Amino acid sequence: MKVAALQMVSTPRVDENLAQAQTLIAQAAQAGAELVALPEYFCLMGLHDADKLAIAEPLADALAPDRTRSPIQAALSEAAKANGVWVIGGTLPLQSHDAQRAFNSVLVFNPQGQRVARYDKIHLFCFDNGQRRYDESATLLPGSEPVAFTVTDRAGGTWRVGLSVCYDLRFPELFRALTKDQPCDLLVLPAAFTHTTGQAHWELLLRARAVENLCHVLAPAQGGEHENGRRTFGHSMLIGPWGEVLGVQAEGAGVVLGTLDRAHQAKMRQQLPALTHRVLG
């Protein structure tokens, strides 16, 4: 199955970001992708952290998002249906019981435009190097449950896909939880890694998650200079189950396209049956 990581350099303007996302989804679909994934905060990289609260949406009806109340969800649903692809909608802010904080959520839409999965980012990023400081907990609430779902490809094959977001990458126990009952075929991690942390750890940790779970990893990222002064690392990637980088884009908007190889994954798991040797957890 062909998959695509869509890299963006999102702006403070939602309509502009949605238009670019729709263009990239269509481009990936035309290239043969059956599943596409957008980066974290694809719909908004605000000038201030609290800007996301102003666009936070109520969770829409799974079958028919209301464009008036939930325009971002409606746009994702329509793009999935129009292009006949599975869309993993990066992240968007969803309203919570706390007016001062939202959930940073991944929503998944099938090729019929129906929402089939939701994952709320569990681990909230905090970083302070004396020059730049980030604390997502000031505007976000953490999720609590790992989420995996099943994709049926056009040939009728099924793929188990585990969801995660950005800072989650540093917590291998989340990925073990996703594979506890049944191994995943693909782990998807939308991200907006800072340039500083990305340069140091992005590829290293992505390849580690692939190797330790003998699993494909698809990581769509924000990549470039944003209007709020932040620089994200980019380097959206598709990684194979042996840790091999199958595709990457350094910076700028674009599509990283590649193919999930089930036979290769099965061979690696047969040759090195580490998943069956787990004792703890």
The pLDDT, as a whole number, for residue 213 is: 96
How is the chain split into domains, by residue range?
A: 2-276
**pLDDT digits 0-9 by tens, 200-241:** 999 999 999 999 999 999 999 999 999 999 999 999 999 999
Residue 121 annotated as catalytic:
yes
DSSP H or E stretch at residue 109: strand 102-109
- Rounded to two decimals, the pTM is 0.96
Residue 251: predicted pLDDT: 97
Q: Helices 71-83 & 14-30, crossing angle to 10 degrees?
A: 20
Low-confidence ranges of the chain (pLDDT < 70): 281
Which residues have C-beta within 8 Å of that of residue 136, sequence separation ≥ 6? 49, 104, 124, 125, 126, 167
Which entry of 34, 52, 57, 166 is annotated as an active-site residue? 166
Fold exhibited by the domain 2-276: Nitrilase/N-carbamoyl-D-aminoacid amidohydrolase (3.60.110)
Residues 51/44, Cβ–Cβ less than 8 Å: yes
Residue 279's pLDDT is what?
A: 87
H or E stretch covering 127: strand 126-128
Q: pLDDT at position 38, please? A: 98
Nearest to 93 by CA among 104, 109, 108, 106: 104
- β-pair type (245-249, 236-239): antiparallel
Catalytic residue flag (residue 166): yes
Give the active site residue among 2, 34, 40, 215.
40
Helix (H), strand (E), coil (C) string for 144-180: CCCCEEEEECCCCCEEEEEECCHHHHHCHHHHHHHCC
User: Does residue 40 carry a catalytic annotation?
Assistant: yes
Residue 136: beta bridge partners? none
- 52 close to 102: Cβ distance less than 8 angstroms: yes
Active-site position among 2, 52, 121, 184:
121
* Direct distance between the N- and C-terminal alpha carbons of the chain, in angstroms, rounded to an integer: 31
